[in-house]
Amino acid sequence: MAKDNKLGFWMAVALVVGNIIGSGIFLLPSSLAPFGFNSVWGWLVTSTGAVMLALVFAGLSRGLPNAEGPYGYTRQAFGDLAAAVVLWGYWVGNWVGNAAVATAAVSYLSDLQPWIKEIQGASTIVTVFFVWLLTAVNIHGLRAAGTVQLVSSILKLIPLVGIVGLGVFLASTGSPQLHNANLGATTFKMSDVTAAATLTLWAMVGLESAAVLSKKVRDPERNVGRATLIGTIMSAVVFIVACTTVMVLIPGDTLAHSNAPFADAASMFWGSAAAHWLALFAAISALGALNGWTLLNGELTFLLAKNRIIPSFFARESSRMTPTNAICLTSALSTIMVLMNFGKGMVEVFTFMILLSTTAILFMYLMCSLALLKLLATDEIDASVGRVVLAIAGVFATAYSIWALIGAGQEAVLWGFALLAVAVPVYYFMRRGKREPALP
């Protein structure tokens, strides 16, 4: 692939930030409101775990610069079958999640265009339209998708910075309105910290984005790890500061029942027009995430086909070095998910889709953390610099991933492992009678 068709460092950072900061940030303050200041401790736990995972992916990408992201890392450590299971689960979880992100984006847009929710079937049609619009952007080429990701990542930070700026201004003037939430009066409870950390965990999914696309990042040995760390830390800081600011600005009882906490905060101080602008930026944020995940899903599908887990038809690339067939497949599957849930409530659809995808992604985090520890122990990766740091990160990331799986609940774990189990017969069926090595 020509150098000009690869993602530069800042586009890689935008990919990480854009895929982490999607639709969840604009609803999280309401979910965290019952936990008061304990939610801040929960954020710190989640952020620490996310940084440990970022270090895992940074170490793996540096030690195995030619590997194919999480699939290649797991394959190097545990073999073809384990890698196929990880890739399959991550792939299915992501295109299911794409349908959820698209649904959230259209939900925000319906605040600006009420006809979307008033006309039966309109929300479904609009959701499918955006899925395929961003599919077209990704088919056009990597640079087009990267540019959309960079611009949307910048735009989505504007309302978050604005709300934080408002909180800083009110704090500097000693405004009594800041006392509404009384965060300082919250009693520390470990159960609340754990619950808050579990909620915030889902917001940090996507930190692995640059590693997944490592072969399409310029100078991956240097840029993938840096982009992963910087993007994860940036996202964590934005999440903690922005969510805490909203919790300080809006009274706890009101916030807990808010369907649009950032819009409500803006409306309180800047009028109803500001709330509509927040809805627009929230939609842009979700669509930016949809663009980034469409890019990732195309690459994951390409890897599945390249390694004979699905038909090789999906491993073909266009003249622009774009896996067009792969991108279209995942968008078609996301479209089917949207259509299957026609007539159901937005929250019901979103919850089901997230439930299906989260455990598979957590399993991938766990396997990559274990892969780092194994490869360090067997000296299969070069980690002469920072070996101890990577080992510590691997141990903490492994423990954190197990804790997160337990915290996800029995239903999520059962759905997730059922999803992963499907990969085993698919793997053996696709490889029946084929003994030649996977495509290079």
| pLDDT tens profile 82-92 | 999 999 888 88
Closest CA to 306 of 330, 319, 325: 325
70 sits in the region (left: phi over 0; alpha: psi -120 to 50; else beta) called alpha
pLDDT at 437 > cutoff 60: no
CA distances from 256 to 29, 93, 259, 261 (A): 8, 29, 9, 9
CA gap 168, 28 in Å, rounded? 20
For residue 217, what are the β-bridge partners? 7
290 CB-side CA count, 13 A: 30
pLDDT at 344 > cutoff 60: no
Angle, helices 387-408/38-63, rounded to nearest 10 degrees:
130
**Exposed (0-12), middle (13-18) or buried (19+): which is 288, by Cβ within 10 Å?**
buried
Span 35-70, pLDDT tens digits: 877 888 888 888 999 999 999 999 998 888 888 889
DSSP conformation class of 251: -
Which of the four pLDDT bands, split at 50, 70 and 90, describes residue 174? low
What single string gives the DSSP state of each residue in 198-228?
A: HHHHGGGTTTTHHHHTGGGBSSHHHHHHHHH
Q: What is the distance, to the nearest Å, from the Cα of residue 170 to the centroid of all Cα atoms in its chain?
A: 32
**Is residue 91 within 8 Å of 300, Cβ to Cβ?**
yes
Percent of the chain having pLDDT more than 70? 89
CA gap 353, 338 in Å, rounded? 10
For residue 7, what are the β-bridge partners? 217
Q: Cα angle at 387 between 384 and 392, to 5 degrees? A: 175
Mean pLDDT, rounded, of the chain: 82
Which of the four pLDDT bands, split at 50, 70 and 90, describes residue 189? confident
CATH class of 3-430: mainly alpha
216 CB-side CA count, 13 A: 25
Question: What number of residues does the chain have?
Answer: 440
Q: Which two tokens stand for residue 429?
A: 């069926």
CA gap 223, 230 in Å, rounded? 10
Token pair 């009594």 is at which residue?
Answer: 176
Residue 436 is predicted with a pLDDT of 45
Q: What is the mean pLDDT of residues 257-275?
A: 78
CB atoms within 10 A of CB 414: 11
> Where do runs of H (alpha helix) occur along 113-260?
115-118, 122-140, 142-172, 190-201, 209-212, 220-249, 252-256
* Higher pLDDT among residues 357 and 99, named by residue: 99
Span 373-399, pLDDT tens digits: 999 998 888 766 578 889 999 999 999
CA gap 47, 40 in Å, rounded? 10
Longest dimension (CA), the chain: 74
* Higher pLDDT among residues 320 and 237, named by residue: 237
**Is residue 423 within 8 Å of 85, Cβ to Cβ?**
yes
Token pair 């842009």 is at which residue?
Answer: 284
- Rg, the chain, Cα only: 21
153-167, 288-302, 344-358, 406-420: which has the minimum mean pLDDT?
Answer: 344-358
**Is residue 262 within 8 Å of 246, Cβ to Cβ?**
yes
